[in-house]
Amino acid sequence: MRNLILVALALVLPITGAAQDAVSTAFDIGSAYRMVPNVTYLTADGYESKLDVIAPRDTSSPRPTLLYIHGGGWVGGSKDAMTMHFLPYLAMGFAVVNVEYRLARVALAPAAVEDGRCALRWVINNAATYGLDASRIVVSGHSAGGHLSLTTGMLPAAAGLDRRCPASDPNGIGRAAAHEPEMPVAAVVNWFGITDVADLVEGPNTKSYAVAWMGGLANWHEVAERVSPLQYVRKELPPILTLHGDADKIVPYQHAVRLHKELDKKGTVNQLHTIAGGGHGGFSDEENRLALAAIQTFLKDNNIL
């Protein structure tokens, strides 16, 4: 793990003639954390959804925790390729829970949304064991992972997408989801996530990945609305930061603008960080550093750091 952190730090930390500082930071992080890989948090549709925990070795002082969900249009991607995205959070002192979920080839929508919610419940239920601060959970992801970070942080239990999650109380097996506690998170950091799924399934913005996620569902429009963050905008939400390039051809920038406007209307704390001329990721080093600075300021302003 130390070698992986060292390589990644060389790419993401602003090093100005201080390479030794990066080496020291990498070894400090490697010494402070332990990796617990491939923990099954949900079994559904014959598939074991798993997560990795990068947990503090010292559990006496719980850490703010990043729940990271990978992208890939709900049809591809893997948690195992995401280290570079969450490394800055380790440098900020976070623990990390890195999540995989049921892709479309295993189960169509809304399975991925269910998995995000169940991963969150797992984190809350197991926080004490791993030294995680359940009151400071930040959910984040890129693209489809951005969408899933929004649904994970925005959905109420009443939406009915938590029903397959294991009960909070191990003796409460079979208890209805309506009787499970709500799962508030401290913040959502949404990197160019989809906010209106139906917009990408049919019409001028149709994308093949969204069509594949819905498959042949006869009630696809109902399902698409049920898993769209725009349907859950209300005042009682965690702070939301959206980062999006205004030249994105994969997820239209308008998805970010619409979410921002609707959140503003409800008085929900939120920010939109626009990467001028930016596409679907692939930002320059300077654009990434400015985005990370915006994230750090956002987390400080909302008392998470």
Q: What is the pLDDT of residue 11?
A: 44
The beta strand positions in 108-149, using DSSP E, are 132-142
Q: What is the per-residue burial (b if ≥16 Cβ within 10 Å, else e) of 90-129?
A: bbbebbbbbbbbbbbeebbbbbbbbbbbbbbbbbbbbbee
Q: What is the pTM of this model?
A: 0.90
Q: What is the largest CA-CA distance in the chain?
A: 59
User: What is the structure's pLDDT at 41?
Assistant: 97
The C-alpha atoms of residue 216 and residue 219 are separated, in whole angstroms, by 9
Residue closest to 245 by CA, chosen among 205, 281, 275 = 275
Residues 35 and 90: beta-carbon distance below 8 Å:
no
Strand-pair category, 33-44 with 47-56: antiparallel
- Please tell me the predicted confidence (pLDDT) of residue 82: 87
Angle, in degrees to the nearest 10, between helices 19-32 and 83-91 = 90
- In the chain the domains, ranked by start, together with CATH numbers, are 33-171+178-301 (3.40.50.1820)
Spatial distance between the Cα atoms of 191 and 274, rounded to a whole number of angstroms: 10
pLDDT along the chain (305 residues), means of 10: 46 48 63 93 96 94 97 97 88 96 98 98 96 98 98 96 81 54 94 98 98 96 98 97 98 98 98 98 93 96 96
What H or E segment, with its residue span, contains residue 271? strand 270-275
- For residue 32, give the DSSP letter: H
> What is the per-residue pLDDT for 3?
46
The pLDDT of residue 85 is 87
Q: What pLDDT is stored for residue 87 in this prediction?
A: 87
- Within 8 A by CB and 6+ apart from 139, the residues are 66, 67, 69, 116, 120, 149, 152, 153, 185, 187, 188, 189
Question: Would you give the DSSP letter of residue 182?
Answer: P
The per-residue pLDDT for 27 is: 61
Instruction: Determine the residue type at 39.
Output: V
The residue assigned the tokens 């020291």 is: 24
pLDDT digits (tens, 9 = 90+) for 193-226: 999 999 999 999 999 999 999 999 999 999 999 9
Nearest to 153 by CA among 130, 301, 145: 145
Q: Please, what sign has the CA dihedral across residues 45, 159, 62, 187?
A: positive
The secondary structure element, H or E, covering residue 96 is strand 95-99
